[in-house]
Amino acid sequence: MKQILWGLFKKIVIADSCAKLVNPFFENYSTYPGADLIICSVLFAFQIYCDFSGYSDIAIGTARLFGFNLMRNFSFPYFSRDVAEFWRRWHISLTTWFRDYIYIPLGGSRRGLAIVIRNTFIIYLVSGFWHGARWTFIFWGLLNALYFLPLLIRKKNRKHLDIVASDRKFPNFKELLSMLTTFALITFAWIFFRATSMEEAVKVIYHCLKDLIQHPASILLLFRELYLPQIILLTIFITIEWFGRRNQYAIQSFLVNNNVALRWSMYYAIIIAIILSFGEKQDFIYFQF
């Protein structure tokens, strides 16, 4: 029930509230400042994560009520220190399927660097094509393959197998910088995933860069009242996810060792937030795939 509750919170409170800002901006990108589009690209990164991982939590939790243990599908991917770690933590059921049924039968990592690079590009291109026969998905897969390539060549793709700051409460500066860089790369790639065509994706990126170069102070739009509720919500969400990152899902043991009244206050706060967030229906993004 806790996992279902957290999944509902991620979907209804975080993902759907992000969608209300993201959708109008991407549909009319030419009429908004570039800073708005950058902010909405970040919001889309959280929308797609909370939408899909929330759905996964609901499905896994519901299955457990009936005695079925489904595999974990997300492992706090936005706390990854490189793209290789991100893909070990994102959509785990699909990535492991690609590994077992495509990557390994093609030769895996045992037939020289050239074959490994070929197999890696095939995996990412197939991943893009799996989402749909559209050039934006293909380019999104290619872009992630290019991100992965330097790690593969330098044999750094399995450097980070444990959670970040596993023995500490907070990351050090290097870890924080690595997480922010990885998040920025993934968010940039999500623009192509979100766009309906390559032309639209290129225009959105061009519009962002042009506007920021001409009006660098426009980034202060982040602090407008429009984004304030979302910033507060995401700050709370990221904090809970960070301190719950050692678990299967964030609130699995969050506050368990604390006062019972405090723990149940959190549960009721989540339920109230879900009820207050009910509004216009937002379909699950991954239901179209």
- Given this model, what pLDDT does residue 156 score? 93
- Given this model, what pLDDT does residue 228 score? 85
Q: What is the mean pLDDT of the chain?
A: 91
- Given this model, what pLDDT does residue 213 score? 81
- Given this model, what pLDDT does residue 211 score? 78
H or E stretch covering 267: helix 260-276
Q: Write down the domain spans for the chain.
A: 2-76+216-288
Closest CA to 120 of 136, 104, 132: 104
Q: Distance between CA 200 and CA 217 in Å, rounded?
A: 25
131 is annotated as an active-site residue? yes
- Given this model, what pLDDT does residue 214 score? 78
- Given this model, what pLDDT does residue 218 score? 65
Please tell me which residue in 91, 131, 207, 215 is annotated as part of the active site.
131
Q: Put residue 195 in one of left, alpha, beta given phi > 0 → left and psi -120 to 50 → alpha.
A: beta
Q: Distance between CA 103 and CA 50 in Å, rounded?
A: 28
Q: Are 145 and 162 in contact (CB under 8 A)?
A: no
Q: How far is CA 186 from the centre of its chain?
A: 8
- Given this model, what pLDDT does residue 227 score? 82
Q: What is the reported pTM?
A: 0.93
Name, in order, each residue with C-beta under 8 angstroms of 166's C-beta and a sequence gap of 6 or more: 246
Low-confidence ranges of the chain (pLDDT < 70): 217-223
